[in-house]
Amino acid sequence: MLRRFAVILLVLFLVACGAPPRATDPLRTARQHIEASRCAGVDRYAQAVADLEAALSADPHQVEAYYWLFVAHRARGDSSAAERARAALEEAVAAGRGGPAGRFWLLRLYREAGDGEAVQRTLSVMESVAEATPSDVEARYWLGRAYYETGRTDQAAQSFQRVLELKSDHGLAHFWLGQIYAEQGQLEEARRELDAALPHLTEKAAAYHNRGVVAYQLGDLEAAVSDLQAALKEDPEDPRSHYQLGAVYLAQAIPAKPLALPDSARLENAQEEFTRALQLCPGMPEALIGMGNLHLLQGDAQKALEVLNQVLEREPDSLQAWYAVAQAQATLGNREEACRALDQFLSLSPPAEWAEQAGKMKGQLGCP
């Protein structure tokens, strides 16, 4: 029987910015265009550039827009335009526009460009500013973001905790602290922070999404469904939330008893969500893996293999895909192929629980 841990690939959702959205927010829509363009066959970078130029025309202090212009121009292969965006952001920060947030977006741009020396230089400036102004909430918050961006999660958590000592209703500090706790497996703490974040956020989709993921990990599937539906109400075109909701429905479809049939209504719900995710983001590996597992639950192992092989063409080191392939091959009676898939799965150093299940499966199949 399909194990729940093998079905769900968790996708935490990172908010890009905490600025309150306006009725028509070109910066926000530009970020959505860029995110969508990461999907196979989708190219909305031109729309993103137009929105970003409109955002800067309306408010030159929205220096975050320069970062996204840099990203969009690089993705389009326009290196000269990307360099102009970089220079504009450097000029804006040097002139004091954007404050601590401006320095963060400059640091992120340098990291995107692979300029480690500039990243460290900018981080040092942010640290100095935060130390010189210990009661400046925003300086401390953006320093926390910079620490997180550069992989210093312990320091990031300390910065966000300091922000909350100064301003207990800082929604984004709660959000990012919850993000860190979730990544560290401190699920109750993550849920607590996301609970605290939501009343104080203007853009709530990411927090609802992440709280839904945490609820799933805690085994609270009904709460997971509720939060992911709320995330989609906030942002109906986010493929990650459609995928994740489908994955939770799939988990709910798995029968509690070994010989019982899957819940057909929940399988239908899952298929609808995976299909929508793939419409929004063609080739999305997580959604394809979800479809593969859905076909396995429906008893169509051959169709599952067809879908899962599409994933492995794009991501040959996908743990979830290899495990599902092993299950499909075993279902079809292809023992040698199943054993090879399990060996490939184990060679990728999966988490201990996954490795244990794969070992049991190898024993049941009589793999060498």
What pLDDT is stored for residue 24 in this prediction?
A: 64
Q: Summarize pLDDT for 56-71 with one digit per residue, the tens.
A: 999 999 999 999 999 9
Residues 213, 271 within the same domain: yes
What tokens were used for 56? Answer: 């800067």
pLDDT band at 11 (very low <50, low <70, confident <90, very high): low
**Domain boundary residue among 263, 291, 319?**
291
Q: Is residue 231 part of a domain?
A: yes
What pLDDT is stored for residue 256 in this prediction?
A: 85
What's the DSSP call for residue 152?
-
Residue 122 has pLDDT above 60, yes or no: yes
In percent, the amount of the chain with pLDDT more than 70 equals 93
Q: Is residue 151 part of a domain?
A: no
For the chain, give the mean pLDDT.
93
Residue 189 has pLDDT above 80, yes or no: yes
Q: 233 or 11: whose pLDDT is higher? A: 233
pTM of the model: 0.92
Q: Is residue 69 part of a domain?
A: no
Residues 250, 268 within the same domain: yes
Q: Is residue 351 part of a domain?
A: yes
pLDDT band at 329 (very low <50, low <70, confident <90, very high): very high
CA distances from 8 to 101, 245, 281 (A): 35, 10, 18
Residue 295 has pLDDT above 80, yes or no: yes
Region 301-330: mean pLDDT is: 96
Q: 10 or 144: whose pLDDT is higher? A: 144
Region 115-122: mean pLDDT is: 98
Residues 286, 315 within the same domain: no
Residues 178, 235 within the same domain: yes
Nearest one of 314, 324, 319 to 290, comparing CA atoms: 324
Between CA 344 and CA 342 the distance in angstroms is 5
What pLDDT is stored for residue 10 in this prediction?
A: 52
Residue 20 has pLDDT above 90, yes or no: no
Residues 268, 187 within the same domain: yes
Q: Is residue 110 part of a domain?
A: no
Q: Is residue 138 part of a domain?
A: no
Residues 282, 305 within the same domain: no
Find the domain containing 197 and state its range: 1-14+168-291
Residues 195, 284 within the same domain: yes
Residues 270, 331 within the same domain: no
Residues 246, 319 within the same domain: no
Helices (H) and strands (E) counted in the chain, each on its own, are 20, 0
- CATH number of the structural domain spanning residue 360: 1.25.40.10
How many structural domains does the chain have?
2
Residues 282, 303 within the same domain: no
Residues 223, 319 within the same domain: no
What pLDDT is stored for residue 116 in this prediction?
A: 98
**Contacts from 306-313 at CB under 8 Å and sequence distance 24+?**
310/283, 311/285
Region 202-227: mean pLDDT is: 96
Q: Is residue 269 part of a domain?
A: yes
pLDDT band at 7 (very low <50, low <70, confident <90, very high): very low
Residue 2 has pLDDT above 80, yes or no: no
Residues 310, 223 within the same domain: no
Q: Is residue 7 part of a domain?
A: yes
Region 69-78: mean pLDDT is: 97
Q: Summarize pLDDT for 36-47 with one digit per residue, the tens.
A: 999 988 999 999
**Domain boundary residue among 251, 275, 291?**
291
Between CA 127 and CA 367 the distance in angstroms is 55
Region 267-286: mean pLDDT is: 96
**Domain boundary residue among 255, 275, 291?**
291
What pLDDT is stored for residue 12 in this prediction?
A: 57
